[in-house]
Amino acid sequence: MSNQLTHSPNRDNPDRPTPRSIDLLRDPARNKSTAFTEAERDALGIRGLLPARVFTQDEQLDRVIGNYRLQNTDLGRYVFLRALQDRNEKLFYRVVIDHIEEMMPIIYTPTVGLASREFANIFRRPRGLYVTAEDRGRVAEVLANWPDSEVRVIVVTDGERILGLGDLGANGMAISVGKLALYTACAGVDPSQTLPVMLDVGTNNSELREDTQYLGLNRQRLSGNEYFELVDEFVTAVQQIFPKALIQFEDFATENAYAILHKYRDRVLSFNDDIQGTAAVVLAGLMAATRITGQPLTDQTVMFLGAGSAATGIADLVVKQLVKFDIAEAEARRRLWLVDSKGLVVASRDNLPSHKLPYAHDYPAMDFVTAINELKPTALIGATGVAGAFSQSALQLMADINPRPIIFALSNPTAKAESTAEQAYRWTDGRAIFASGSPFDPVEIDGKRLVPRQANNAYIFPGVGLGALASATTRITDDMFLAAAEALAGAVRDQSLASGSLYPSLTEIREVSVQIACAVANVAYQAGLAGDRAPNDIEEVVRSLVWHPSYDLAV
């Protein structure tokens, strides 16, 4: 989402008096608009400021959906929803939760990519916090300006690698805000406890810097020691101002993403969604796919086209899962192969970055299609950001090698997908087991309706965050992501698998998030990372934290 989504300084908070009169109607966290009762209108000084009729939230919902569907473009629908949250946060979340399959592609991928590019043009009100390169030495002071003190989840980006779109600078705030909306919609994390942050260190995108409407710092990106010093000051300030907050790092460039993850993962409550969240959702999809193929995960050979943070993060988590089945780590890595822009990643290659080295096997160099023919992978995972990178010849070869080839085209937005669902199905005679990063419509092949579903991180990170809150864990570990992946894979119904779907319906996502949260919390307690002794009923604790967008009586 864009800067349209945020949290008002006048949110429900026992330390802050309830606003009255017109101020109440301008507070999206408390405004119920036409749903204020007669008694509330009298007590809160808003009689006469609203039309006479009192509506229920259900009636308001019907009006919103009708108006939403009058919008002619996805960007128009996006802006409409952002304006709704600006007016009435609870009604916004009710709309999203009740119509999640319709709303998810608008509030997040693929439309959030377009919204990110158009960020300056659709800017209405500032949202979240902007910590800039010019704030060095006073980052804690900036964070202290946020009006809600009980922040529990922060999503922060520096905008350098937004989806498959590259460096969008300060426009990356759309991603932080959108991810936090999913925390609430998909797992019920109280929106008053969330904080989107843009770490604006400049941009190397010359087109943005030449745009007179660009909202961010007009300078080259901060880099090197200065960059990491700012990140460190930010992380330290979070510990000071919001000591219970989970930090989710989002859409950082690969080298920086790994450096930040390795520095902080064992020191503060944090994770990188592109590395660890993506890994868990893809691992879950692979485990679900084995229920279709009948081949266990231990028999898979996986090839990645693309070798950035997403691909190597997936590979690392798959290795950890294989080790749980008593496969030696070195042997597990030998079952995973990377292909980058120069071809197969092999040991003879010079100057490989550190994240690729564990998968640089002793093997001859070759191109992508030749590598498929030589290594005969059972699963092909695309994380390139290059549209059409899965050629017809590559997918037909996968179908020649495998009765049911597993094909994941993960790049988003949709225009960046390695293949469409229809291409994957038709070029494999309907035998592909397909998942994607962006949504695709069902495809009918030989009278059978195949329903592809997104390998969407929204299946994972909201539940992980909810589990962290429920357990008060001090760290997020790989074992938690393994537990989350297993819980997600276990939630896929047989009828979904029969139609080719590797993930549950989005209509089930809040319940799936509860189960993931329970699995994560259990790991936290077993590892001694939780704040207190494990409760008798972890699920009861998790469910007690789930926020619902119902209206409360103000008087």
Residues assigned a catalytic role: 108, 179
> Any idea what the Cα angle at residue 467 is, between residues 515 and 228, rounded to 5°?
135
CB 16 within 8 A of CB 27: no
Q: Which two tokens stand for residue 408?
A: 């994941």
Spatial distance between the Cα atoms of 88 and 93, rounded to a whole number of angstroms: 9
3-state SS class at 215: coil
CB 305 within 8 A of CB 337: no
Indicate the burial class of 171 (C-beta count within 10 angstroms; 0-12, 13-18, 19 or more): buried
User: What DSSP character marks residue 499?
Assistant: T
Neighbours of 532 (CB within 10 A): 8
- CB within 8 A of 535, min separation 6: which ones? 541
User: What DSSP character marks residue 418?
Assistant: S
End-to-end, the C-alpha distance of the chain in Å comes to 33
Neighbours of 342 (CB within 10 A): 12
Rg (CA), the chain: 23
Among the listed residues 119, 127, 234, the one whose alpha carbon sits nearest the alpha carbon of residue 180:
127
Q: Which two tokens stand for residue 126?
A: 């500032």
Q: Which two tokens stand for residue 301?
A: 């050979």
Among the listed residues 244, 269, 178, the one whose alpha carbon sits nearest the alpha carbon of residue 457:
178
Spatial distance between the Cα atoms of 339 and 392, rounded to a whole number of angstroms: 17
- CB within 8 A of 462, min separation 6: which ones? 182, 183, 186, 187, 189, 509, 513
C-alpha distances out from residue 52 to 42, 57, 221, Å = 12, 16, 54
3-state SS class at 412: coil
DSSP line for 310-357: HHHHHHHHHHHHHHTTT--HHHHHHTEEEEETTEE-BTT-SS--TTTG
Residue ranges in 70-147 assigned as alpha helix (H): 74-87, 89-98, 100-107, 111-117, 139-143
Neighbours of 375 (CB within 10 A): 18
Q: Which two tokens stand for residue 272?
A: 């990188």
**Which residue in the block uniquely carries the two structure tokens 């690698």?**
161
